[in-house]
């Protein structure tokens, strides 16, 4: 067993400086940690009525082997579209996985103390997801393709574009890779992000994954000998284990080289000391079956890369699907890798799938986030519902014990707290990551005294929700200093349209004032704070004032995303003609003249393509309405094919209101009309 790593190994350390996720039963990480600590099983059991109301097949639901259970992600259909520059039509077409990843990436950067729209240069993105019902329905819907264009449908729904959308909407200029290794996708993405940082491909990286096969309530069919549990519960390594349970979720971590993170004062939450990826190749009984040797190799290689021994671990977050073959092979492989551990049962063993189900492409990042939280709190969370270990796994003769109740995790005498996280994908890709507790950080910085806290949001309700979250955070025993809080709110958040500020002399007063703001009450302020009040008033007017950099980035509550429900794309019927849509919008209007009819049709086309509420929105410019180059290409094609109007693509790049744009489009047809009239005169002569 090693005491410390070699200096060159420390040079390869990667810092987790921010993270965010949404998991079954947990809309935020505080709730996630509370559920983990309490051993809560967040699997939802549906009633027949709920399943049928969401369109499930009655015959299947009433079948003997149907299991009405799943790890559900609440509000997975909601999205703050305009915050990310999508119009309503695009937002409805955009796959729920894209929506969730965009919002989670935003929140992860905020957790790291960075403005999501002003992230560090050379920030890369490494994420992956699964196939969704929304994607399949949208890409086979001819009506949607006719409305916005087949290419646009693919770009808005295909998982191939998960990473590029984040890079585009957040302005990130590092590598942008969508990763796919089935169930090990998100842990593979984290491994690749670490490698990219060490190679210098990027200086900051977002990594993680998402899994939302459908936002509708659905169970599954249990097959004898299959991978799914017969009773809707996942019990890894347990004598009552019978298979896994599907679940939905999303998680993203923000990574930087440890040396850079420490030099820049980032809030380091944990350290990745090493990682490795292998594939079983042909050394397994079938394509979907795991293998022992290369799982062992991935663990050993990861710890060797870290300059450590697997025996230095105190905990292993296993893949742990609760399938008979998977658990047996994983236990055998891990036992071989960790054989040098001090004493039988000295390493805790668990799997978050017992809490939330199997999150497929997001399974690995769910385990990483869990392990980081345990390292931070110095507590090993129990495996939900754990009973007696499965006798065939022979864990009694291994280095492991299944964690059945919360255990204190003191810092070992020979070094910091350390853990491994494993993930295994169908197809044979095995990944292992070595995590270590963060280096100590001084608690407070800056001189105590009054501060101004600048808040902004996309809506008034979101501003109140944010103020309430901040009030709760500042009342916590481990709350950051007021100076660090003010600094992070000023430099680590995107300035949005709805704004407020709070003046306070200390954290307690700040919590009180923020509580007043959250309740919609008048916010009082210290009398002797004129200079800070001037900053706050300038903030409300969107004026820039010098701000003394006397704090550092800290982890604070992130943006309270809400937004409207965009649901999931399903079978569509052909839309009414644009002329009919225009008449439906104004049923009392007289029938237009020929020229007016073209004008009405063009305006209806713009309204439909951009997802506008009606022609009253035509006072906006094309880009303000959410238009982009692909939509412009689609519009140019529709104008040519439907109306015989040829307009240059550059017309959509001009600073015109949609009303003026429609007028210019109609005018483009007039020369052709004049030519037709002239030819008609010659024919009649």
Listed in sequence order, the residues at least 6 apart from 345 whose beta carbon sits closer than 8 Å to its beta carbon are 395, 396, 398, 399, 400, 401
Among 134, 183, 458, 638, the one annotated catalytic: 183
**139 phi, psi to nearest 5 deg:** -75, -10
Cα angle 377, 382, 384 (rounded to 5 degrees) comes to 135
Question: 238 near 389, Cβ under 8 Å?
Answer: yes
Q: For every residue of 90-119, which 3-state class applies, written as one string?
A: HHHHCCHHHHHHHHHHHHHHHHCCCCCCCC
- Using alpha carbons, list the distances in angstroms from residue 522 to 346, 451, 541, 560: 56, 18, 19, 22
Tokens of 264: 């820049």
- Cβ density class 311-321: b for 16+ within 10 Å, e for less: bbbbbbbbbbb
Q: Using CA of residue 53, residue 54, residue 58, residue 64, what is the dihedral sign?
A: negative
Listed in sequence order, the residues at least 6 apart from 614 whose beta carbon sits closer than 8 Å to its beta carbon are 585, 607
Active site residue 377: no
Q: What is the Cα–Cα distance from 400 to 380, expressed in whole angstroms?
A: 14
Listed in sequence order, the residues at least 6 apart from 590 whose beta carbon sits closer than 8 Å to its beta carbon are none
- Using alpha carbons, list the distances in angstroms from residue 572 to 56, 85, 388, 604: 17, 25, 50, 20
435: enclosing H helix or E strand: strand 429-437
Helix, strand or coil for residue 271? strand
For the purposes of burial, counting CB atoms within 10 Å of the CB of 108, is it exposed (0-12), middle (13-18) or buried (19 or more)?
buried
Question: 233 near 57, Cβ under 8 Å?
Answer: no
DSSP string, 105-163: HHHHHHHTT--TTSPPSSEEEEEE----HHHHHHHT-HHHHHHH-HHHHHHHH-GGGHH
Among 134, 358, 390, 634, the one annotated catalytic: 358
CB atoms within 10 A of CB 579: 14
Angular region, 108: left φ>0, alpha ψ -120 to 50, beta rest? alpha
Question: 384 near 41, Cβ under 8 Å?
Answer: yes
Active site residue 319: yes
Q: What is the Cα–Cα distance from 289 to 293, expressed in whole angstroms?
A: 13
Name the pairing type of β-strands 204-211 and 123-128.
Answer: parallel
- Using alpha carbons, list the distances in angstroms from residue 281 to 45, 319, 331, 517, 659: 38, 19, 20, 59, 60
Cα angle 629, 633, 637 (rounded to 5 degrees) comes to 165
Among 319, 390, 487, 569, the one annotated catalytic: 319
Tokens of 80: 């703050």
Active site residue 458: no
- Using alpha carbons, list the distances in angstroms from residue 190 to 15, 162, 277, 363: 12, 15, 11, 12
Helix, strand or coil for residue 390? coil
Question: 367 near 317, Cβ under 8 Å?
Answer: yes
* Radius of gyration from C-alpha coordinates of the chain: 28
CB atoms within 10 A of CB 515: 19
Tokens of 529: 């704070």
- Cβ density class 245-259: b for 16+ within 10 Å, e for less: bbbbbbbbbbbbbbe
- Catalytic residue list: 183, 319, 358
């Amino acid at each position: 067993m090693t005491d410390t790593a070699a200096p060159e190994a420390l040079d390869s350390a990667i810092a987790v400086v921010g993270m965010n996720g949404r998991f079954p039963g947990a809309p935020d990480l505080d709730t996630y940690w509370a559920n983990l600590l309490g051993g809560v099983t967040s699997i939802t059991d549906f009633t027949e009525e709920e399943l049928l109301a969401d369109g499930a097949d009655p015959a299947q639901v009433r079948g003997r082997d149907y299991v009405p259970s799943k790890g559900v992600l609440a509000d997975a259909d909601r999205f703050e579209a305009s915050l990310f520059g999508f119009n309503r039509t695009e937002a409805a077409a955009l796959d729920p996985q894209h929506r969730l990843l965009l919002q989670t990436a935003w929140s992860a950067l905020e957790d790291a103390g960075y403005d999501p729209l002003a992230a560090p240069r050379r920030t890369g993105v490494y994420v992956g997801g699964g196939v969704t019902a929304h994607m399949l329905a949208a890409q086979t819907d001819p009506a949607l393709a006719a409305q916005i264009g087949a290419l646009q449908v693919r770009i808005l729904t295909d998982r191939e574009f998960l990473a590029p959308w984040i890079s585009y909407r957040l302005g990130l200029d590092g590598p942008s890779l969508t990763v796919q290794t089935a169930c090990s996708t998100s842990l593979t993405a984290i491994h690749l992000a670490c490698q990219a940082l060490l190679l210098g491909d990027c200086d900051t990286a977002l990594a993680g994954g998402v899994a939302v096969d459908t936002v509708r309530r659905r169970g599954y069919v249990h097959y004898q000998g299959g991978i799914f549990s017969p009773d809707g519960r996942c019990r890894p390594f347990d004598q009552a284990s019978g298979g896994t349970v599907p679940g939905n979720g999303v998680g993203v971590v923000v990574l930087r080289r440890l040396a850079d993170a420490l030099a820049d004062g980032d809030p380091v939450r944990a350290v990745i000391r090493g990682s490795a990826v292998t594939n079983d190749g042909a050394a397994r009984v079938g394509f979907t079956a795991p293998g022992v040797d290369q799982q062992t190799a991935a663990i050993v290689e990861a710890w060797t890369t870290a300059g450590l021994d697997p025996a230095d671990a105190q905990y292993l977050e296993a893949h742990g699907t609760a399938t008979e073959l998977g658990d047996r092979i994983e236990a055998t492989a891990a036992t071989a890798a960790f054989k040098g551990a001090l004493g039988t049962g000295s390493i805790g063993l668990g799997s978050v799938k017992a809490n939330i189900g199997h999150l497929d492409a997001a399974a690995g990042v769910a385990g990483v986030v869990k392990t980081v939280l345990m390292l931070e709190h110095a507590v090993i969370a129990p495996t939900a519902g754990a009973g007696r270990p499965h006798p065939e796994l022979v864990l009694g003769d291994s280095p492991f014990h299944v964690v059945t109740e919360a255990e204190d995790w003191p810092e070992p005498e020979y070094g910091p707290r350390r853990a491994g996280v494993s993930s295994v994908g169908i197809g044979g890709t095995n990944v292992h990551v070595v995590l270590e507790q963060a280096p100590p950080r001084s608690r407070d910085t800056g001189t105590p005294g009054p501060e101004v806290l600048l808040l902004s949001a996309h809506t008034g309700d979101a501003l109140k929700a944010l103020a309430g979250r901040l009030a709760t955070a500042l009342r916590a025993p481990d709350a950051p200093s007021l100076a660090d809080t003010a600094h992070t709110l000023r430099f680590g958040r995107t300035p949005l349209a709805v704004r407020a500020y709070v003046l306070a002399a200390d954290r307690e007063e700040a919590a009180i004032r923020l509580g007043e703001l959250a309740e919609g009450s008048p916010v009082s302020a210290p009398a002797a704070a004129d200079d800070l009040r001037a900053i706050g008033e300038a903030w409300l007017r969107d004026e820039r004032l010098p701000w003394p950099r006397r704090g550092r980035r800290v982890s604070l509550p992130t943006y309270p995303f809400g937004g409207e429900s965009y649901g999931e794309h399903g079978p569509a019927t052909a839309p009414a003609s644009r002329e009919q849509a225009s008449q439906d919008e104004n049923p009392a209007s007289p029938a237009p003249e020929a020229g007016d009819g073209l004008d009405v049709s063009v305006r209806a086309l713009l309204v439909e393509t951009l997802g506008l509420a009606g022609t009253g929105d035509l006072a906006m410019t094309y880009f303000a309405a959410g238009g982009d180059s692909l939509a412009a290409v689609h519009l140019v094609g529709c104008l040519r094919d439907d109306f015989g109007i040829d307009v240059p693509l550059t017309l959509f790049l001009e600073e015109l209101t949609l009303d003026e744009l429609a007028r210019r489009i109609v005018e483009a047809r007039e020369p052709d009309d004049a030519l037709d009239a002239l030819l008609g005169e010659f024919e009649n002569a």
